[in-house]
Chains A and B, each alone.
Chain A
Amino acid sequence: MVPLSYYLVLSGILFVCGVLGFLIKRNIITIFMSIELMLNGVNLSFVAFAAQWHALSGQVFVFFVMVVAAAEAAVGLAIIIAVYRTRETLNVDRVNLLKL
Chain B
Amino acid sequence: MFHLLLFLFFGAICIAGAVNLLVQDHPINSALSLIAVMASLAVEYLLLGAEFLNAVQVIVYAGAIMVLFIITIMLLNAGTEEHTKGSRVAVLVGIPGVLIGSLLVGWTVLFHSNTRSVPIGALQGDPRGIARLLFHDFLLPFEVTSVLILIAIMGAVVLASRPEAVARGPEALVRAPRKEG
Chain B nearest CB from A53 CB (Å) reads 10
Q: Which residues of chain B (114-145) have a CB below 8 Å from chain A?
A: 115-120, 124-125, 129-130, 133-134, 137-138, 141, 145
Interface pair A51/B73, CB less than 8 Å apart: no
Q: Is B167 an interface residue (CB 8 A)?
A: no
Known A12-B102, A78-B160, A82-B159; judge A48-B27 contact (CB<8 A). Answer: no
Q: Which residues of chain A (58-100) have a CB below 8 Å from chain B?
A: 59-60, 62-64, 66-75, 77-82, 84-85, 90-94
- Inside 8 A of B60's CB, which chain A residues have their CB? 66, 70
- Inside 8 A of B159's CB, which chain A residues have their CB? 75, 78-79, 81-82
- Cα A43 to Cα B125 in complex, Å, equals 14
Q: Is B82 an interface residue (CB 8 A)?
A: yes
- Cα A74 to Cα B4 in complex, Å, equals 37
- Cross-interface CB contact of B109 among A9, A19, A78, cutoff 8 Å: A9
Chain B nearest CB from A29 CB (Å) reads 5
Interface pair B133/A57, CB less than 8 Å apart: yes
Binary CB contact string for chain B from 14 to 49 against chain A (1 if under 8 A, 0 otherwise): 110011011000010011001001100100110111
Q: Is B53 an interface residue (CB 8 A)?
A: yes
Chain A interface residue count, Cβ-Cβ cutoff 8 angstroms: 71
Chain A nearest CB from B5 CB (Å) reads 10
Interface pair A56/B48, CB less than 8 Å apart: no
Question: How many residue pairs between the two chains, A and B, have CB atoms under 8 Å in the bound complex?
Answer: 232
Interface pair A75/B7, CB less than 8 Å apart: no
Chain A nearest CB from B80 CB (Å) reads 9
> Which residues of B are in contact with A by a Cβ distance under 8 Å?
3-4, 7, 11, 14-15, 18-19, 21-22, 27, 30-31, 34, 37-38, 41, 44-45, 47-50, 52-53, 56-57, 60-61, 64-65, 68-69, 72-73, 75-76, 78, 81-86, 90-91, 94-95, 98-99, 102, 105-106, 109-110, 113, 115-120, 124-125, 129-130, 133-134, 137-138, 141, 145, 148-149, 151-153, 155-157, 159-160, 162
- Cross-interface CB contact of A2 among B30, B78, B83, B120, cutoff 8 Å: B120
Closest to B34 in A: A33
Closest to B155 in A: A75
- Cross-interface CB contact of B37 among A14, A30, A70, cutoff 8 Å: A14
> Which residues of A are in contact with B by a Cβ distance under 8 Å?
1-10, 12-21, 23-27, 29-30, 32-34, 36-37, 40, 43-44, 47-48, 50-52, 54, 56-57, 59-60, 62-64, 66-75, 77-82, 84-85, 90-94
Known A51-B50, A51-B124, A78-B160; judge A91-B109 contact (CB<8 A). Answer: no
